[in-house]
Amino acid sequence: MAIALLLASSVHADIDPKNFDTSVKPQDDFYQYANGGWRKANPIPAAYSGWGVFNEIDERNKVELHTILDRAAAAKNPGFIEKLVGDFYASGMDEKAIEAVGLTPVQSELAQIAGLKDISQLPAFLGHLHLLRVGAGFGFSSEPDPSNSTMAIATSWQGGLGLPDRDYYFRTDDQSKKIREQYVAHIAKMFELAGEAPAIAESEAAAVMKLETALAQASRNHAALRDPLANFNKMSVANLQKLTPHFAWADYLAAIGVPNPGEIDIGQPEFFTAFDAQLTATPLADWQAYLRWNFLGSVANDLSTPFVNENFAFYGKTLGGTLELQERWKRILGMVNGNMGEALGQLYVAEYFPPASKTRALELVGNLRAALRERLQTLEWMDAPTRAAAIKKLDALNVKIGYPDKWRDYSKLVIDRGPFVLNALRAREFNSHYQLNKIGQPVDRAEWGMTPPTVNAYYNPNLNEIVFPAGILQPPFFDAKADDPVNYGAIGAIIGHEMTHGFDDQGRQYDGAGNLHDWWSPASTAMFKERTARIIKQFNDYTVLDNLHLNGEVTQGENIADLGGVKLAYAAMEKALAGHSREPRGGFTPEQRFFLSFATNWRINERPEGLRQQVLTNEHSPGRFRANGPLSNLPEFWQAFNVPEGAPMRRSLADQVTIW
């Protein structure tokens, strides 16, 4: 693929008319106008369910990381970090050895599942599986205490489902029914690959589906999970034990190495009640089938080709519409990043993240922060006490750029040249202990939640921080050499987006210290909710495929952030341009170039299957709506492109929303 040969150093961010589709007017569909040419020239490669700007950058990163890994694997006298990632990568690339050993390295795990004699052994064994990151039953880890963000506590939440979301178990349309049938067939196929007779595999798969459906029935839907207060339920182990009388928490906690966790945040108590009921309602043999399925599904990608292919056939092809598997080196690279990303990240930033990028990115963040501060000072709908608290929260916002100041310590992680699946399981266990060891300890505010090569960014409400890994600070999002309209339109809007998350439907419920604490007056809350209700309606009204609508409730946080992000970035650019030349370039004003650059952020081609899955499971709206949704509300955009009243890209005054 041509893009894979382009190295970052040869790519620059700029407005390129080749990417336009001039058969469409900006006022009718700005997304298509700005990106139609690019979309036509960039069909989806067979190994992807969609292809967009995030993939373009990620693909360049992969080429760079590939060089690093090949070099590390071949190094004669590697340092510790080089040896760690080099050995892991080499064992994952050793296809011959992986095919030769098949399931042998994990037979002892399967034997343990088969050897369970009584449901009372489940808690300890589930603890063991959770250390291996096998997601059976429920989730368990640590988190900053939502009511005291300086300390980490234990947290447990609903889980244990193999389909992407609980609603997949209950939708009644033909397509959803078919996916459920294919899912059960996939589970049976995995059992057969593990050596079971077809008839037994089939009946066990049906039992797994029955148990998962019961867990799904008790699971909250995506919209209900958005409410941080309703999903914060701290209780003592003694009270948790009363909630789930058939599950010996002492055994589970001993198995994960946290015998005395203190209070645990049980996100969804009613789920645990239902989980407990299944311990008596579901026969042990069915639980064993469920554990076997969870284990096999979890390690499938670390095993031989039949398992990898079967896993891909369902999760890649059926759910995502992807036509073929990614090349092995890309898949293993993804696992290096997932399992030891701060080791790989050290080698990556040393070579590929220029210090100038950090300086320029910090300058952009500073100007975005100033724009939001100004906005908070003048916002018409907030009362004075809420305004003062909002400004205080913004002033406390922490910013992280590029990579962590201190790296994680991997010295206790044992990696060798194979078998690969055992390397993967040791890395998972190492990472589980790393998270669990935080329980009862002060929160380390220097820690990062994404690895440096990641092409993404985040706002963490518990720490009130925005974080931009080196991976995303690249063209076309960001270019230290590009002019202001290009940088503010692209990365500036993303920075503004992350900042706005601190003030979206979820983020606004946390204060500047990262605690769940209501700092809003009832009047300002009412004004905020009136505005978000209109955002929810706008996005509910968008149709994506056939009659599949966006879920305005689930996507509201991202949509609020998109709208705020582009507005703030625009204000910051206007400030940065003051006193500078405003000459048009390539026939476009700085304002027009800003919006063209903004639209670049969302260019993408998607397969219908992948798009459907995104709409049903993801809180981000598809690219088209992330561009056109915010801009149709933005007078600054209407002005830049002379969008007349009544045009599709200009909402009526009654419909238009401004929040931040």
Q: Closest distance between Zn ion and the C-beta of residue 74, in Å? A: 39
Which helix (H) or strand (E) segment holds residue 210: the answer is helix 198-217
DSSP letter (8 states) at residue 324: S
In the complex with Zn ion, which residue's Cβ is closer, 349 or 561? Answer: 561
Please, which residue, 601 or 613, has the CB nearer to Zn ion? Answer: 601
Site for Zn ion in 247-286 (CB under 5 A): none
- Interacting stretch for Zn ion, rule CB under 5 A, among 241-249, 320-328, 334-342, 559-567? 559-567
Nearer to Zn ion, 106 or 494 (CB): 494
CA atoms of 627 and 609, how far apart (whole Å) = 21
User: Toward Zn ion, which CB reaches closer, 291 or 561?
Assistant: 561
Q: How far is the CB of 614 from Zn ion (least distance, A)?
A: 14
For Zn ion, the closer of residues 231 and 556 by Cβ is 556
Nearest CB to Zn ion, comparing residues 397 and 425: 397
Report the chain's terminal Cα–Cα distance, integer Å: 41
If DSSP codes are grouped into helix, strand and coil, which group holds residue 235?
Answer: strand
- The window from 165-173, 287-295, 554-562, 641-649 that contacts Zn ion (CB under 5 A) reads 554-562
**Alpha-carbon span 171 to 176, nearest angstrom:** 6
Smallest separation (angstroms) from Zn ion to the CB of 494: 9
Q: How far is the CB of 560 from Zn ion (least distance, A)?
A: 9
For residue 67, which of 53, 85, 42 has the smallest C-alpha distance?
A: 85
Q: Exactly one of 562, 591, 606, 619 is catalytic; name it.
A: 562
464: left (phi over 0), alpha (psi -120 to 50) or beta: left
Closer residue to Zn ion in complex, CB, 286/558: 558
Q: How far is the CB of 231 from Zn ion (least distance, A)?
A: 18
Segment interacting with Zn ion, rule: CB under 5 A, options 58-66, 558-566, 573-581, 582-590: 558-566
Smallest CA-to-CA distance from 376 within 384, 523, 574, 504 is with: 384
Q: Which of 498, 511, 606, 619 is catalytic?
A: 498
Q: Token pair of 489, please?
A: 């339109």
- Residues 6 or more apart in contact with residue 362 via CB below 8 angstroms: 399, 401
With tokens 């969008």, the residue in question is 643
Cβ-in-10-Å burial (0-12, 13-18, 19+) of 292 comes to buried
Q: Which residues contact 375 (CB under 8 A, 6 or more apart)?
A: 567, 568, 571, 660
For the bound state, the minimum distance from the C-beta of residue 180 to Zn ion, rounded and expressed in Å, comes to: 30
Please, which of residues 326-385 interact with Zn ion by CB under 5 A?
none
Which range, of 6-14, 66-74, 321-329, 553-561, touches Zn ion by CB under 5 A? Answer: 553-561
Tell me, letter by letter, the H, E, C secondary structure of 134-196: CCCCEEEEEEEECCEEEEEEEEEEECCCCCCCHHHHCCCCHHHHHHHHHHHHHHHHHHHHCCC
Give 102 or 564: the residue with its C-beta nearer to Zn ion: 564
Helix (H) or strand (E) holding 234, with range, is: strand 234-235
Active site residue 562: yes
**Taking CB under 5 A as the rule, which mask of x and - marks residues 507-536 in contact with Zn ion?**
------------------------------
Region binding Zn ion by CB under 5 A among candidate stretches 136-144, 271-279, 447-455, 556-564:
556-564
- Other Cβ atoms within 10 Å of 649 Cβ, number: 23
Token readout for 258 is 């946290």
Size of site (CB under 5 A) for Zn ion? 2
| Residue 459 CB, nearest approach to Zn ion (Å) | 7
Give CA 543 to chain center in angstroms: 23
CB distance 8 to 474 below 8 Å? yes
498 included as an active-site residue: yes
Please, what is the minimum distance in Å from the beta carbon of residue 458 to Zn ion?
A: 7
Q: Mark the segment that binds Zn ion (CB under 5 A) among 63-71, 76-84, 561-569, 604-612.
A: 561-569
Write out the catalytic residue numbers. Answer: 498, 562
Q: Which positions lie near Zn ion, rule CB under 5 A?
A: 558, 561
